[in-house]
Amino acid sequence: MRADRLVATLLLMQARGRVTAAEVAAELEVSVATARRDLEALSAAGVPVYPQPGRGGGWQLVGGARTDLTGLTAGEAQALFLLLGPSAGAAGTPARSALRKLVRALPDTFRPAAEAAADAVVVDPARWGEHGRERSELVELLQSAVVRRRRVELVYARPGREPGTRRVDPLGLVDKDETWYLVAGTDAGRRTFRVDRVVEATVTDEPAARPADFDLAAEWERVVDRVEQRRAGFDADVLIDARVLHVLRGHFGRQCEVLGPADDGRVRVRLSAPTPVMIAQRLAGWGAQVEVVGSPPLTAELARIGRELVARYAARPPPPPPPAGGGGGRPDRLSGKPPSGRHAS
């Protein structure tokens, strides 16, 4: 996990003062390229890590070797925890535990900002059916508001409604497969806002209320559970070859639950969606690779799709075979050039 490596790299530099990427790679058992990227990430985040070119050079912390984290300034500590937080995983993981220990090693005056930075962002890679969205420029502004604990005024547009203004207490950001969400406190309780629906955001000087026991990762799990319950009104079990299970899980995300191995060596999987037709539409392209187990509504939908495809395409005559000998100068389909071995007239 990258958070583990970044913490280990920083502590290694504090112990030795100056290191090369090759030394970090050997110590952490990673490639030199990975070690160099980690060192560059620490430097880019504002941690005082700088390369020293030339013979006898390497990477070092400004001010020489340190044995603890108390040499970091408030801004440097905040930058470090903003970098580590999203990759540390959920509460209870070793990386998240390491961050908590690092927070306790900081001076009391730095601790609140560092802790807020470590918990400002959660990364959830499981898809909700959308992909390829660009990161909004509002994310950095909202992340700063989370860390500084400042109330934000949002102009927010729901689909089919006029934009409205809301004043919220930002609690954290979640990156879910390149779609960003803001978890915030409101007068009506905690709410989740899609950042790409935020028309405008203004950070105010008012302090934001943040519960002392708030855990962003745990709160996001509750949000996801509620959403999935609304989305999953129909369940069906299927059998699939274990070698292509990862592809099916990529299609269905959290709505794909692995139940265990079947007697014939395949894997039994439970799929969920609001209606049977939504599962059938995704499974139709799998053909005989997927077998539905005991779900008449789903098999009926698959049969219907199959009949529609047969009715449309089965009666069409097959394309004629290509002429023997290269087709007598017929242009190539992709390039528009004549076939190799012949000259254009």
Please answer whether residues 151 and 168 qualify as being in contact, where contact means their C-beta atoms are separated by less than 8 angstroms.
Answer: yes
Token reading at 344: 């254009």
* Helix, strand, or coil (residue 51): strand
Q: Are 170 and 240 in a shared domain? A: no
pLDDT at 100: 58
More confident residue, 13 or 228: 13
Position 95 in a domain: yes
Instruction: For residue 65, name the pLDDT band (cuts at 50, 70, 90).
Output: very low
Q: To the nearest 10°, the Cα dihedral for 74, 79, 81, 87?
A: 180
In whole angstroms, give the CA distance from residue 179 to residue 195.
8
Bridge-based pairing of strands 164-176 and 121-124 is parallel
Position 342 in a domain: no
Please answer whether residues 110 and 71 qualify as being in contact, where contact means their C-beta atoms are separated by less than 8 angstroms.
Answer: no
In whole angstroms, give the CA distance from residue 103 to residue 114.
7
Please answer whether residues 259 and 237 qualify as being in contact, where contact means their C-beta atoms are separated by less than 8 angstroms.
Answer: yes
Q: How far is CA 178 from CA 119, 173, 175, 195, in A?
A: 18, 12, 6, 11
Q: Are 131 and 68 in a shared domain? A: no
Please answer whether residues 121 and 173 qualify as being in contact, where contact means their C-beta atoms are separated by less than 8 angstroms.
Answer: yes
Position 341 in a domain: no
Task: Give the Cβ contact number of residue 52 at 10 Å.
Answer: 11
CATH of the domain at 269: 3.30.70
Query: DSSP per residue over 158-194, as a string?
Result: -TTS--EEEEEEEEEEEEETTEEEEEEEETTEEEEEE
Q: Are 177 and 104 in a shared domain? A: no
Position 115 in a domain: no
Question: Given 181, 197, 227, which residue is the final one in a domain?
Answer: 227
Question: Given 110, 140, 169, which residue is the final one in a domain?
Answer: 110
pLDDT at 325: 59
In whole angstroms, give the CA distance from residue 93 to residue 157.
36
Position 131 in a domain: yes
pLDDT at 191: 92
Residue with tokens 């509504």: 297
pLDDT at 237: 92
Q: Which residues pair with 202 in a beta bridge?
A: 153
Q: Are 82 and 9 in a shared domain? A: yes
Q: Are 63 and 88 in a shared domain? A: yes
pLDDT exceeding 70 applies to what percent of the chain?
Answer: 65
Measured between alpha carbons, how far apart are the two ends of the chain, in Å? 61
More confident residue, 310 or 82: 310
Position 281 in a domain: yes
CATH of the domain at 24: 1.10.10
Closest CA to 215 of 179, 190, 186, 178: 190
Q: H or E segment at 151? A: strand 150-156
How many structural domains does the chain have? Answer: 3
Q: How many residues does the chain have?
A: 345
pLDDT higher than 70, residue 42:
yes
Q: Are 171 and 257 in a shared domain? A: no
- Residue 50 lies in domain: 2-110
Q: Are 217 and 247 in a shared domain? A: no
Specify the pTM.
0.43
More confident residue, 79 or 329: 79
Position 84 in a domain: yes
Q: Are 133 and 191 in a shared domain? A: yes
Position 116 in a domain: no
